[in-house]
Structure 1
Amino acid sequence: MCIVYDIVSFTRLKARLNFSLFQKMDTLYTENESVDKEPICLFFNETQLVWSDEGVTTINYSQDKVSCYSDHITSFSVMMKVTKAEDNKALSLMSKVCVSLSLIALVVSLIVYCLFPELWKSLRVSIHKNLVVNMISMQSLFLFGIDKTGNKIICAVVSVLLHFTALNTFTWMFGEAVYLLFKVSTSAPSQHNRLRNYMAVCYGIPLIIVVISSAGFTSEYNDGDSCWLGQERGMIWAFVAPALCIAMGNTGIMCIVVRIIYKRAGNMVGKPAAARNKFKQLRKATRGTLMLLPIMGSAWIIGPFAVSSDTEFLDYVFNLLNGSQGVFIFLIYCVFDNETNECFKKRFKKNEVTPATEMTQNE
């Protein structure tokens, strides 16, 4: 059931029109109580002869009033958006469990990095720390802020921060790939391979994109159903386009890294043990990054569409991928990482003194 409010014929406005429609919610849909019901503002498209939400946004609603804003005036209506409550609850529970597990794994990874001062000087670990911090921020925002659509200001802030941290995640994965390229292609330390340069690029590029997007399209940082970039006017591409470019750049760089490692593998015969060990560590680091790239890339390329789509399959795929990111990072960058393992071994053996050591000290 819907009530039509005929304003005037379709006319585009230079500014948005804010208005409220007074309507009892219980008169709009009463057939089935086992569903989730949400009123939405629509207008009648006389060209296509359908109800549409293009240019119309539902701000908030109560038991007897729905507030909307629009960039045109025409025939408006309040309709009830109906979804299966059980499916939403199952998906919501799965989302919270997956992201919570990922967050726990990421926090543990960060604690490990902070525990050992030996790791603080490592450029590779510094890149990992920045990646982990941004992923913790991004997933916390997703878990606690993605559905805060009741307040426009809070929702816009969440959307902007989520946009920024999600882009940061991609740029720091790009930083990991660039770091490996430096390591395999140059034998001497490069002045460009410095943390300050990584910080400038990996935070600077997302900041520029977000500032331009938020300055020019502030109202689009709200998808209606979630605090994320809107799809109606293509705002979603402010994230998807840079993410795709970075993902393709990562793929290209990692192909070069693999090719160089493959060529150098044959030259390791007869090399000193230290050189062979260093090469093995580099090859292991490359293998870990190659495992993470598809997981990280596919999750947040699917993510923006899953959040704003009615297709539940995409929601489940995104939640599984999103929930596995933190766990994989913990396993690859902590559990199976040579630098971290060496720090653990030194910490546990720090207070152990062998007989041979005692004899040496006595002599």
Structure 2
Amino acid sequence: MSKFLFCVPDIDECKPPISVYCGLNAACQNVQGSFHCHCNPGYKLLSGDTQFENSNENTCQKTTSSKTNRDTEELQRVVEKFESLLTNDTPWAMGEKREVASRATTLLQTVESSALETALKSPEQKIQKIHNSTVAIETLVVTDNCSEEGKVFSLNTYMNSVDIRCDDIVQENVKGPTAIAFISYSSLGNIINATFFEEANGKDRVYLNSQVVSAAIGPERNTSLPKSVILTFQHVKMKPSSEKAICVYWKSMNEGGQWSSDGCFLIQANKSHTICNSTHLSSFAVLVALTNQEEDPVLVVITYVGLGLSLLCLLLAALTFLLCKAIQNTSTSLHLQLSICLFLAHLLFLTAIDQTKIKLLCTIIAGALHYLYLASFTWMLLDGLHLFLTARNLTVVNYTSVSRFMKRLMFPVGYGVPALIVAISAASRPSLYGTPTRCWLHTDKGFVWTFLGPVCTIFSINLAFFLMTFWIVKNKLSSLNRDVSTLQNTRMLTFKATAQLLILGCTWCLGVLQVGPAARVMAYLFTIINSLQGVFIFLVYCLLSQQVRKWFREIMKSKPESETYTLSTRFGANSRPSEGGVFSQSN
């Protein structure tokens, strides 16, 4: 989807390469799906109409009455009055923050009311425009009660614009014409700047990166709308991709006023423009937040130490699953694939997560991490399914059709499903693999949900498997009396099901809970537990297994025996060491 598709779905015939020519003393006005021509201020058609289609219909003549000039001069006086108030630096510089906010609120409302009042004095002068170095105003009067269904008006000042439906301008409780005023202030943002944004995170640097604009309809200044308006802002300076745009409006309060994001939503943002929509009319701006939090050195140490231990334990676990013949079955195969995927994911995370200098390389690393972590979760899901089937078929799981079914299913699902998700994600949004600071998924357009969505789904399914497994095991325990071996297997199965859900599932929920006052605590818990997943896997599936411990003891015993055998064969059965010892040399 191309940028700004939501707001500019049609071709602007008034701009190059088309540039419709309306004739002398006339201008082109683009509307949704079409365009029209209208006479410049101070001119009107001989027919009395307000618009026409092409230059052949242009009969724009200078009005003989001085009323239009008076209206324009009145609007000019509004601009000059605002300019005089704004350029008087003393009240702004000397006043407290609350006083400055209160003065700004009064000023904004005064300009809006004056512009609407001036426009409604001359309803036949449908469009009026005026601007100087500090403020630009465009007004539009609607008199036809929106006879054209779905008609949208676009007003532009200082490269900012507002798109509003005709139905939203016309006020049902008002007889006669209605008007909309759109105002851009070139320097007001220097006064009511980002310091008036109370919702800002203390760790984020926020600044105002647009002009302040106002949109109002009259004669009654209704603010709430049945449908949202679209606002397009040109940035004061280019916005880096690492910075986040925030759409805000000026909220008047008893304390004066402040910037708020309530009812304002971001549609699209690039380096030069931001598009917002709002469910009400007010004064608006775009704030930009640059999250520049320094990494917590303690969390960094925990991450590297934890992942280092996990890599070692995952390697030992994989070797155990491969070499210990006594435990090799379907469950071991699932644990082996899980260990391999987590090992590769953790290794790539440690060595390449911050390799952002080469964009293509960073994209490949982000895609690989996306795939490996999704594959790890998919193997967790298969393990949960196998635990459930094992509980249901406790004594014959490795000799029934269940085992054959799992063997046929696990590799296509375990590696195929993550590959399909990553392929679709990469094909739809390849540019969102990699951020300016990390080789991971970008948060723009909700792209990170290509990972979080499957993870939440897998966790929910595994939770269902766990509850069913627990219920089945509980019934089996109540029915077992003398079969000690089956009783032990059932209890171990219950323990593994619980450990699997907590270690490989619930811990990831801590990442979602890193908000609000508990964010720091959750960050530490998430980092500690998730970085030690490999240690937990080795502990639960290897060290707590009686067969694996027996295999480890046999390996440890076989080593000194082999050394004794080597020394015995080297010196002979009847040979004796010299007085200087076995390794002494004769003179």
After TM superposition, the score normalised by the length of structure 2 is 0.45
| Aligned partner (choices 290, 298, 320) of residue 528 of structure 2 | 320
Change in Cα spacing, 1:315 to 1:88, as seen in structure 2 (3 Å) is: same
Cα separation, 1, equivalents of 2:424 and 2:526: 27
Percent identity over paired residues:
24
Does structure 1 residue 212 correspond to structure 2 residue 424? yes
Residues 248-263 of structure 1 aligned to structure 2 (within 5 Å): 248-263=460-475
Q: Deviations over 1:326-348 (max 9, x none)?
A: 11111111110233234335556
Provide the rounded CA distance (Å) in 2 between the counterparts of 1:197 and 1:73: 50
| Matching residue of 1:175 | 382
Aligned-partner Cα distance in 1 for 2:482–2:349 = 52
How far off is 1:143 after superposition? 1.3
**Greater RCO structure (CA 8 Å; 6+ sep):** 1
Cα distance in structure 2, aligned partners of 1:45 and 1:138: 45
Larger Rg: 2
Unpaired runs of 5+ residues, structure 2, are 1-157, 163-204, 213-230, 244-268, 275-285, 562-587
Aligned pair partner of 2:508 in 284, 300, 304? 300
- Per the alignment, do residues 53 and 226 of structure 1 end up closer, same or farther by CA in structure 2, a change over 3 Å counting? farther
Q: Which residue of 1 aligns with 2:191?
A: none
Give the CA deviation at 1:269: 1.8
Shift of 1:205: 1.6
SS of the residue corresponding to residue 57 of structure 1 reads coil
1:27 corresponds to: none
Residues 1:57 and 2:256 are matched in the alignment: no
- Structure 1 304/167 Cα, relative in aligned 2: closer, same or farther at 3 Å? farther
Equivalent in the alignment of 2:480: 268
What is the SS of the residue equivalent to 2:241? strand
Q: Return 254-263 or 108-117, whichever deviates more.
A: 108-117
Residue 105 (1) aligns with residue 313 (2):
yes
The 8 Å contact of residues 367 and 433 in structure 2, kept in 1 or not, is answered as yes
Tell me how many residue pairs correspond in the alignment. 300
Q: What is the CA deviation profile of residues 201-231 of structure 1, one whole-angstrom value per residue up to 9, with x for unaligned ones?
A: 1222211111111111111112332111111
Confirm or deny: 8 A CA contact 1:135 1:166 kept in the other structure: yes
- Contact 2:362/2:439 (CA < 8 Å) preserved in 1? yes
**Cα 1:151–1:284 shift into 2, 3 Å:** same
Alignment-derived partner of residue 130 in structure 1: 337
Checking the alignment, whether the CA contact within 8 Å between 1:8 and 1:73 is kept in structure 2 is no
- Partner residue of 1:115? 323
CA deviations on 1:205-258 (whole Å, 9 max, x unpaired) are: 211111111111111112332111111210111111111111111111111111
Mean Cα deviation higher: 128-137 or 140-149: 140-149
Q: Distance in 2 between matches of 1:193 and 1:82?
A: 51
The 8 Å contact of residues 42 and 77 in structure 1, kept in 2 or not, is answered as: yes
For residues 272 and 493 of structure 2, the distance between their equivalents in structure 1, rounded to whole angstroms, comes to 58
Letter in 1 for 2:436: G
TM-score by length of 1: 0.70
Matched, 1:339 2:551: no
- Choose the corresponding residue for 1:164, options 343, 358, 371: 371
Residues in 2 aligned to 1:166 and 1:298: alpha-carbon distance in whole angstroms: 15
Q: Is the 8 A contact 1:8 1:74 kept in 2?
A: no
- How has the CA–CA distance of structure 1 residues 286 and 127 changed in structure 2, closer, same or farther, with 3 Å as cutoff? farther
Q: Deviations over 1:136-162 (max 9, x none)?
A: 111112212221222211111111111
Residue in structure 1 matched with residue 194 of structure 2 by the alignment: none
Q: Distance in 2 between matches of 1:220 and 1:304?
A: 20
- 1:107 and 1:136 in contact (8 A); partners too: yes
**Unmatched tracts of structure 1, length 5 or more:** 1-6, 12-38, 60-69, 353-363
- 1:73 is the counterpart of 2:272: yes
1:190 aligns with 2:401: yes
- Does 2:452 match 1:240? yes
Work out the CA distance in 1 between the residues paired with 2:356 and 2:237. Answer: 16
In the TM superposition, residue 115 of structure 1 has moved relative to its aligned partner by: 3.2
- 1:90 pairs with 298, 308, 311, which one? 298
Given residue 174 of structure 1, which amino acid in structure 2 is its aligned partner? L
1:258 is paired with a residue whose SS is helix
CA contact (8 A) 1:44 1:52 kept: yes
CA-atom RMSD in angstroms? 3.9
Of stretches 296-305 and 226-235 in structure 1, the one that deviates more from structure 2 is 296-305
**Higher helix fraction (1 or 2):** 1
Does structure 1 conserve the Cα–Cα contact (< 8 Å) formed by 2:235 and 2:272? Answer: no
